Structure 1
Amino acid sequence: MVKQIQSIMALLLLFIILAISAEVEGAKKSNGLYDNDNSVKLFVFGDSYVDTGNFLHSTAYKPPSGMTFPGYPDGRFGNGRVMTDYFGIFKTLVDGPNLTVQIDSFEKLIKQNMYSKSDMESSIVLVNAGANDYTTFILKDKNIFEIAKFMKSLVNEVTMNLVRIHNLGAEKIVVSLLQPIGCLPTISVASLYIDCIHLLNLVSRGHNKMLLGNVEDLNKEIGKPIFRTLDLYNSFLSAIQTIKKNRKENSTIMNPLEPCCALESVGYDCGKVDEKGEKKYTLCEKPELSFFWDNAHPSQNGWYSIFKQLESSSLGQIFG
């Protein structure tokens, strides 16, 4: 499995990976030293689907996180290599720096000459955020009929942040389309993990359609394809459907919609223990074969399945 993930990273990141957030020391800890040479870099902004260890005081640094890779908790929200989710664009249920704050932090690094103009022009910026905002909106019992208004404000905020990043000198910016949020275990539990909640997947589709339109408009205004999109939506769905199809032939394959790290009660996260030190979660029999690690994050195998779908479609064009 490690070799599989290494091949993914070789395809996606033939670069030095630097996860940029307000927790600069955390970034140094998880990604090594910042360098100032002219090698191509991938600068990453967004939620914990793309974070590799910046949220220092979280369950991502507690067992069972990291049990598949590297064998101990290292700050990734999953059992291994992941693109996990906890920041978001607006303030969400998770207390972490939003996208604007992350860009503010990055701008300070540029002003401190941590990165040069050539660094920005020759590198790639990946932005992944949004799902936390919608799940927060839904789970806090907001008026579902107001979600269209919320969607417009959210996509506009993303768009403004993309423009900010471009104004800092980035010439190649990749923004992820929203994953099918109706398939996340925290939502699909309503169907007893039998199927995705397709009504909420329509929210993802609406978000993506609006974002794609904005990206197209931005590229027309600039006169060249600065902004590109990474289709997480269809990649998630295709991976899930493939696993479901294989389950019909092999019933021992785990349900892709069911989380491996299941919570015993509301109010706990994977890795949490009570005041007596007793675990408030249970693990599936074979975490390395699961698709979802917990209620929101794919497992290492899940991300591998997703990137196999991306590999056959757009990764070469985007990161080549």
Structure 2
Amino acid sequence: MDSHNQLFSLSSLSLVLLLLSGHMELQLVEGRWQRHEKNYSPKMLFVFGDSYVDTGNTRMTDQPGSWKNPYGLTFPGKPAGRFSNGRVLTDYIAEYLGLKSPAPYKFRKLMQQKLENGMNFAYGGTGVFDTFSQNPNMTIQIDFFNQLIKENVYTTSDLYDSVAYVSVSGNDYAFYSIRNGSFEGFPAFIGSVVSQTVTNLVRIQRLGVRKIVVGGLHPTGCVPASTASYSYQQCNSTFNDLALLHNNLLNQAVTKLNRQSKDNSTFVVVDLYDSFMSVLNHPSTNNIKEPFKPCCVGVGREYNCGSVENNVNKYTVCESPTSAFFWDLLHPSQAGWHAVYNKLQKMSALRQLRY
């Protein structure tokens, strides 16, 4: 046997042993068999959505906004584009996968060394449709992703060993309400939002991403903007019912997608509703002292957290951001996101990210 054939035989034997041992499987990708290790952590994370996962794409000129004080007060100690006093859900999902938070799309040319972790295309204030924000909706965010693939920034192999996280946090519904949408028409509109979300998930899959995760809608009736009329003491049950309808339709649609997929776990729903409620209903067990009251609030109804007028801050910040679940009227604090993340780790959906 010549050396070339001997090397080939040894390599083949090693591959067979790995397959038999259960640590590796072969999968057909674009007509070619590829090795795939079981229980392998994805090497990249791609993020699409809104302010719940945005880590810096939103414009610095927005006022007030995530690039203004006191955002980023806890981490990294200054405003860094996150809609919180510190880390957001994106950061914790990346940590779970053993990755660094992917670079914001806006800074892709300035952060070349971080592109190996994936990319974050999320923009605050956006939805699956156009909203009050001038930032790109999710369809356009996926267009950005597609363009990078065409430019060979990410290869087929990169995409195959990656996870996409999709955040839909209710901006479409807020916009619908502001535009005087009828309450009677809400269920039908929720159906259209879920339908477009599913279209987005399938499109991401067809671009080559193997695992696509979508966050269920959190209890929107429990954010401070909803609980303010109840003196921050209880949730708005009507808004929560609408969130549950969204989640029910989303779960049904994702179940159907997986039945149609060759891999019945391609699409995963992360239950943010139950994880939020678990923390809000038992705040003390998560070191949360203020479950509904925002830490940062505007002075008067016309101002929001971060508002400044004539060089004077028009907001107040609580004494202990680390014990408040919500940072402002809409967004969890770092402590809130960390508590939610701890709950998510105990759910099977998050464990599916490590395929």
TM-score relative to the length of structure 1: 0.82
> Secondary structure of the residue that 1:153 maps to in structure 2?
helix
Task: Pick the aligned partner of 1:74 from 77, 80, 85.
Answer: 80
RMSD between aligned residues:
2.0
% same residue = 42
Gaps of 5+ in 1: 1-38
- 1:172-183 map, 5 Å: 172-183=211-222
Q: Deviations over 1:157-216 (max 9, x none)?
A: 001011110110111100110101001111111212110111110111100110111111
Please point out which of 234, 251, 264 is paired with 2:299. 264
- Structure 1's 53 and 40: CA in aligned 2 closer, same or farther, altered over 3 A? same
Match status 1:153 vs 2:153: no
Residues 37-52 of structure 1: pairs in structure 2 closer than 5 A: 40-52=43-55
Looking at structure 1, the residues matched to 176 and 311 of structure 2 have their Cα atoms a distance apart, in angstroms, of 32
User: What CA deviation, in whole Å up to 9, does each residue of 1:233-265 have, x standing for no partner?
Assistant: 10011011111x669xx9xx6321111111123
Asked if the contact 1:99–1:129 (Cα under 8 Å) also holds between the matched residues in 2, the reply is: no
Residue pair 1:177, 1:231 contacting (<8 A) in 2 also: yes
Query: In structure 1, what residue type is equivalent to 2:68?
Result: K
Name the structure 2 match of 1:65.
71
Amino acid corresponding to residue 145 of structure 1 in structure 2: E
Code of the residue aligned with 1:69 in structure 2: it is F
Give 1:255's match in structure 2, choosing from 290, 297, 313. 290
Matched, 1:129 2:145: no
Deviation at 1:95, TM superposition (A): 2.5
Provide the residue aligned with 2:59 in structure 1.
56
TM-score normalised by L of structure 2: 0.74
User: Is the Cα–Cα contact under 8 Å of residues 211 and 353 in structure 2 kept in the other structure?
Assistant: no
1:139 deviates by 4.1
* Count of residues paired in the alignment: 277
Secondary structure of the residue aligned to 1:60 is: coil
Query: 2:222 touches 2:234 (CA, 8 Å); kept in 1?
Result: yes
Letter in 1 for 2:339: S
1:35 is matched with none
Contact map agreement 1:45 1:102 (CA 8 A) in 2: yes
SS at match of 1:94: coil
Structure 1 pair 46–154 and aligned structure 2 pair: CA distance change class (3 A): same
Query: Does the 8 Å contact 1:89/1:130 carry over to 2?
Result: no
Q: Following superposition of structure 1 onto structure 2, how do residues 1-320 of structure 1 map, counting pairs within 5 Å?
A: 40-57=43-60, 58=62, 59-83=65-89, 85-224=124-263, 225-243=265-283, 254-274=289-309, 276-314=310-348, 315-319=350-354
> What is the CA–CA distance in structure 1 between the aligned matches of 2:234 and 2:83, rounded to whole Å?
24
Aligned-pair distance for 1:281?
A: 1.1
Question: Secondary structure of 1:87's partner?
Answer: coil
The residue type equivalent to 2:47 in the other structure is V
Q: Note if contact 2:169-2:218 (Cα within 8 Å) is conserved in structure 1.
A: no
Q: CA deviation at 1:319?
A: 3.4
Alignment-derived partner of residue 9 in structure 1: none
Structure 2 unaligned runs (5+)? 1-41, 91-123
